[in-house]
Structure 1
Amino acid sequence: MTNHVLLNNVQHKDLKVITRHGAGLGDEQMYVATFPAEFRTLQAHYPIVFRKAEDGRGFEPIVLFGFQAGENLFLKADGWDAPEIPLMIERQPFLIGRNGEEMLVHVDLDSPRVSRTEGEPAFLPHGGITEYLERINSILFTIHEGLQSNVAFVDALLKYELLESFVFDIELDDGSQNRLAGFYTIHEERLHVLDTEAIGALHRAGYLQPIHMVLASLSQFRALIDRKNRQHAARR
């Protein structure tokens, strides 16, 4: 359940946010949305793929943490086991809401991160915002701009038929079989045979680098499988 409300320094003057990462804090997610400006930092740690948007008409890039719903192989007892954390995780429990054209910060009061007794305060004793909330505002703006940029980026990929579905079969060390399906990646062969006009258009739009970052991130599937194997071994 969610309970999104407009954040304000009167009703929420005592609001604190638990910023550590772990079980029970909303981090048990298989993936979150991402955007091209994040690809360079994330590709060194996570696979970046695409999924069909909820309306079924478009696609969105996502960063994978596991192979099944609710699985996050980067969660450890002492926190998040990677030096870079996607902004869609870092922004919790805040999000952007709209009042007409105005963008406003909302908070999910039902989030397990929301507290009155521990964590980072959102507001100063006399009502001003804290450095923590300033950082959240910056993160939310970056996310908003990034998600907006996804539309043109994905349109370009579709224009040049650069998205293809894939199925990833995984055999773990214990012999168990797993399959990752329903996702899409860059069609590398089609990318390599694009003519100079198409390559030039992608370059001018700033899309060649994020395309190659997506391809580079696929090497992280091996590391993700290793994490899955370690998890299975620890449970035996």
Structure 2
Amino acid sequence: MTTTTQPGLGQITGNVLFYSQPEPLTPELHGKLGVKRMDGPFKFAKVGHAIPLTVGEFPLAAVTGPIIFVGDEKLPIAVMGLNAGENMFLKDTGTFEAGVYIPAYIRRYPFVFANDSTNNQMVLCVDRAAEFIVEGGDMPFFENGQPSQYTKNCIEFCNNFEIERQRTLSFVQILKDLDLFEQKTANFTPTNPDGTAGEQQKIADYFGVSEEKLNQLPAEKIMELRDNGALGQIYAHLLSLVGWDRLIALALTRQQQQPEAANA
């Protein structure tokens, strides 16, 4: 992959979650800037209730919450909240709850690759609006006009993320080719004050792998999925769906705590 931190770029395209002011990283624009260390660096992710996920992250992300597929492209998403704009696992202090998997999509911030359509290359950008980007930061972007070791490490991380993103697209294509997707619904049945079951409420519509279709695959296809690593990722996705119950329980607990806090 070709990357650049030089000026003279063409038009940068692409809208990306969390990034409100992405700029191609250059010594001219960002030579005096860097990242300051913060105890709670993830405040920007508070609005991220649905985070893009790469297939290699499935086993780790599955212990936190549901992994679902969305849109016509069936892209995998880590569900981290029931309401739009609310990450339930992120504290107001900008740190995640203990034991929560933090997706690579979040960890790469404030860096991101953007498409330079004019020069047909990927350009490393940085979100200038990030609160921890300051002049004279603890980790400078450049040293003597050249990318610092910190920036080089971030470039490598973004490169690896892009490789994993391509692997994810291939994984999704395998599922499409085998017609394994089906529409699914996450529901919640509340309990009435008298202990009876209340009216069922729909939480989300999404795409997931059909266990029925998976079980009907010929043995040779199952072996093929096993050998290329896709089968393990499929099961990680299926197991992750019990995470809807975790999110619901967490939401109910917080709902019960709000009146108590108001009366305190």
The interval holding the TM-score normalised by the smaller chain is 0.7 to 0.9
**How far apart are 1:125 and its partner, in Å?**
4.8
CA deviations over 1:48-73 (Å, ceiling 9, x no partner): 11001xxx4x2101101011210110
2:249 matched residue in structure 1: 226
Whether the aligned pair in 1 keeps the contact of 2:62 and 2:237 (CA below 8 Å) is yes
1:89 matched residue in structure 2: 106
Separation in structure 2 between the aligned mates of residue 174 and residue 231 of structure 1, nearest angstrom: 18
**How far apart are 1:231 and its partner, in Å?**
2.2
CA deviations over 1:76-101 (Å, ceiling 9, x no partner): 13411144210111111210024445
Separation in structure 2 between the aligned mates of residue 156 and residue 112 of structure 1, nearest angstrom: 40
**How far apart are 1:113 and its partner, in Å?**
4.4
Q: Which runs of 5+ in 1 are unaligned?
A: none
The secondary structure found in structure 2 opposite 1:66 is coil
Change (3 A) 1:231 1:173: farther
Whether the aligned pair in 2 keeps the contact of 1:22 and 1:77 (CA below 8 Å) is no
Name the TM-score, length of structure 1 as normaliser. 0.84
1:191 matched residue in structure 2: 214
2:152 matched residue in structure 1: 134
Change (3 A) 1:125 1:137: closer
User: How many corresponding residue pairs?
Assistant: 230
Task: Report 1:31-110 matches (<5 A).
Answer: 31-52=50-71, 56=72, 58-78=73-93, 79-81=95-97, 82-99=99-116, 100-110=119-129
Structure with higher Rg: it is: 2
2:167 matched residue in structure 1: 149
Whether the aligned pair in 2 keeps the contact of 1:14 and 1:121 (CA below 8 Å) is no
2:224 to 201, 204, 227: 201
Bigger shift: residues 38-47 or 163-172: 163-172
Separation in structure 2 between the aligned mates of residue 30 and residue 12 of structure 1, nearest angstrom: 31
2:240 matched residue in structure 1: 217
**How far apart are 1:174 and its partner, in Å?**
8.5
The secondary structure found in structure 2 opposite 1:71 is coil
The secondary structure found in structure 1 opposite 2:29 is coil
**How far apart are 1:7 and its partner, in Å?**
0.6
Whether the aligned pair in 2 keeps the contact of 1:26 and 1:112 (CA below 8 Å) is no
Separation in structure 2 between the aligned mates of residue 173 and residue 129 of structure 1, nearest angstrom: 57
Matched, 1:121 2:139: yes
Whether the aligned pair in 2 keeps the contact of 1:43 and 1:216 (CA below 8 Å) is yes
Separation in structure 2 between the aligned mates of residue 117 and residue 180 of structure 1, nearest angstrom: 46
Whether the aligned pair in 2 keeps the contact of 1:95 and 1:105 (CA below 8 Å) is yes
2:34 matched residue in structure 1: 16
Separation in structure 2 between the aligned mates of residue 16 and residue 179 of structure 1, nearest angstrom: 45
Bigger shift: residues 217-226 or 120-129: 120-129
Bigger shift: residues 107-116 or 218-227: 107-116
Bigger shift: residues 129-138 or 68-77: 129-138
